Amino acid sequence: MATRTTSGQPPPGYDPSQFPPFAVTVDVVILTMSEGALNVLLVRRGEAPFEGMWAIPGGFKRPAETLDGAAKRELAEETGVDAAPVLKQFRAYGDPGRDPRMDVVTVAYLAVLRDVGAIVAGSDAAAASLIPVSDVLNGQIDLAFDHLRILRDAVERIRVELEVSGIATAFVGSTFTMAELRAVYEAIWGVQLDAANFRRSIVAEDGWVIPTGRRARPGSAGGRPAELYRAGRAWKEGGPIHRAVRPEERK
Amino acid sequence: MATRTTSGQPPPGYDPSQFPPFAVTVDVVILTMSEGALNVLLVRRGEAPFEGMWAIPGGFKRPAETLDGAAKRELAEETGVDAAPVLKQFRAYGDPGRDPRMDVVTVAYLAVLRDVGAIVAGSDAAAASLIPVSDVLNGQIDLAFDHLRILRDAVERIRVELEVSGIATAFVGSTFTMAELRAVYEAIWGVQLDAANFRRSIVAEDGWVIPTGRRARPGSAGGRPAELYRAGRAWKEGGPIHRAVRPEERK
DNA sequence: CCAAAAGTGTTATGTCTACACCCATGA
DNA sequence: TCATGGGTGTAGACATAACACTTTTGG
């Protein structure tokens, strides 16, 4: 921060008594599961630059608030949801020219939400929409600024978070079946998991999920009704499910 | 970033046509092993505020450079070392009032270095010093600004990095013994590791360390000479050593 | 020869994976 | 009763931890 270099000479072309002003923004990548795929909440820009393009929602930090506070406020303004507990700062971006108008440093946050209907309702519905992440990563949808990079980093981060924290339960409803929870891992990691072993790993981790005693109704195809669980207290100290190492990576 | 909120009303007291200016700085936490303990490179501040206190080295980002570039430049200016490959951005800090003079958002980086002598030489030696991390975390040494919090986060981050990346070899010299490498893990995690199993885990991971064929001279107390290794290519995809789960944490 | 540190072998225990098998439902 | 998905059992492969034992040095 404001500590200046201890080398006696200021670098050429730089006056240490001044500091260059920047705009500081927060961008919030909101991820959610919809129809078995990972989706991201995007807004359509209403003005130049990049008018009409999709972008990650965000806005300016105010001097009187913290970065976390700014992210929480922006998320609330955009979606009407208080998701402070699942907001995770994951990276800052400050490449010159990333905003053509001015020098902007942005701090990117990640939020995982369920209850899709309530999210979109709280926002300006015409300008906000859930978009499949794969459509963006495939290049079928272009994003403004360097938002493609930010989204890529966010998705990579959520893949890691899924393994080291219990964030998976943030994707599902307040009660859920093992199959629903498993689908989160399968969609985000792009793998197939053995249902039997998945269940055992989840249940073995103490306090992770709590059986409600109730059961879900089977789908129209039949099948045994699944037990319903709710999320336990404990998604801080490392999750129970780990990505399998692909055979060629093993020694 | 510059995407503005899509809610029609700007929040009260905030004019969306203006953006509040911030100073943006980078702070670089330089960690190194010295005498079996984790040390951090600190500078003594020469001016108010916090004059005379220890602080993490850092400085202003310039408009024409990237955040990574600013961190690399500051590190070079302070220490004379080009450590770009081991520079890791780990978090941004922007609480209001964290600098009493102005609104400053700082992006913190972590660098792990060996070769302590060369580091201090490149800098203003009178104002820079390696301090044991434990002295700072114990409160025996106060840091300026919110640098204690930044250092705490950096140490927590390095503990995780040690497990998921191969950064341990960045702490030791270009050739090293198993005991030296093991000492890195033991110092940073504060645990004792079984030397036999440690060696096996390291050697089993393909490409991690490469035997040089040479041996280190034993210390004055004797003992069999240790094989010397050099770091392999492969510290990207997860390290071979994992923290033991403490007994109370097991299910 | 003894102490110390490096390195190897061995065994018990735990975890992960694959897959066979039983259970409860809709049509 | 059959197809479908949920849930349990189990055996082999693999990983981890504890510790005895051998090797090679300095004193």
Q: Which residue is nearest to nucleotide C2 (CA to C1')?
A: B222
Rg (CA), chain A: 21
Least confident residue range of A96-105, A117-126, A231-240: A117-126
DSSP A60: E
Query: Comparing C-alpha atoms, which of B95, B69, B72, B75 is closest to residue B149?
Result: B95
Contact criterion met (CB < 8 Å) for B7 and A95: no
pLDDT for A199 equals: 96
User: Which residue would you say has higher pLDDT here, A102 or A108?
Assistant: A108
**Average of per-residue pLDDT values in chain A:** 82
Specify the amino acid at residue A193. L
Q: Which residue is nearest to nucleotide C16 (CA to C1')?
A: A197
Residue B140 confidence class, pLDDT cut points 50, 70, 90: very high
Phi first, then psi: give them for residue A40, nearest 5 degrees: -125, 140
Is the pLDDT confidence value at A121 over 70? no
User: Which residue would you say has higher pLDDT here, A246 or B199?
Assistant: B199
Smallest Cβ–Cβ distance between A60 and the set B19, B57, B58 belongs to B19
Residues 218-237 (B) with a CB less than 8 A from some CB of A: 237
B176-186: b or e for each residue (b if 16 or more CB lie within 10 Å)?
bbbebbbbbbe
Residues 100-139 (B) with a CB less than 8 A from some CB of A: 101-107, 123-124, 127-128
Check if the beta carbon of residue B61 is closer than 8 Å to that of residue A20.
yes
- List the helix and strand counts (H, then E) for chain A: 6, 10
Smallest Cβ–Cβ distance between B105 and the set A8, A96, A105 belongs to A105
Residues 136-195 (B) with a CB less than 8 A from some CB of A: 144-147
Provide mean pLDDT across the span B211-218: 92
Is the pLDDT confidence value at B74 over 70? yes
**Assigned token pair, B11:** 């929040």
- How far apart, in Å, are the Cα atoms of B93 and each of A131, B78, B107? 31, 21, 6
Least confident residue range of A87-101, B131-145, B190-204, B209-223: B209-223
Is the pLDDT confidence value at A109 over 50? yes
- The β-bridge relationship of strands A54-55 and A37-44 is antiparallel
Is the pLDDT confidence value at A51 over 90? no
Is the pLDDT confidence value at A14 over 90? no
Is the pLDDT confidence value at B135 over 70? yes
**Domains of chain B (ranges, CATH numbers):** 20-150 (3.90.79.10), 162-249 (1.10.10.10)
pLDDT for B108 equals: 98
Is the pLDDT confidence value at A117 over 50? yes
Q: Which residue is nearest to nucleotide D2 (CA to C1')?
A: A222
User: Which nucleotide has its C1' atom closest to residue A218's CA?
Assistant: C25
Smallest Cβ–Cβ distance between B55 and the set A3, A127, A144 belongs to A3
* Angstroms from B177 CA to nearest CA on chain A: 22
pLDDT for B232 equals: 84
Query: What is the per-residue pLDDT across A203-230, written as a single tens digit (0 to 9) for each?
Result: 998 888 999 999 998 888 888 999 999 9
Contact criterion met (CB < 8 Å) for A63 and B22: yes
Query: Comparing C-alpha atoms, which of B96, B67, B231, B79 is closest to residue A66?
Result: B96
Residue A62 confidence class, pLDDT cut points 50, 70, 90: very high
**Assigned token pair, A134:** 């794969």
- Please state, for a pLDDT cut of 90, what percent of chain B lies above it: 53
Specify the amino acid at residue A148. L
Is the pLDDT confidence value at B234 over 70? no
pLDDT for A129 equals: 86
Check if the beta carbon of residue B153 is closer than 8 Å to that of residue B91.
yes
The CB density around residue B157, as the number of other CB atoms within 10 Å, is 17
Query: What is the per-residue pLDDT across B156-166, written as a single tens digit (0 to 9) for each?
Result: 999 988 888 88
**Assigned token pair, A219:** 């789908």
User: Which nucleotide has its C1' atom closest to residue B241's CA?
Assistant: D16
User: Which residue would you say has higher pLDDT here, B63 or A86?
Assistant: B63
User: Which residue would you say has higher pLDDT here, A117 or A141?
Assistant: A141
Residue A1 confidence class, pLDDT cut points 50, 70, 90: very low
Specify the amino acid at residue B149. R
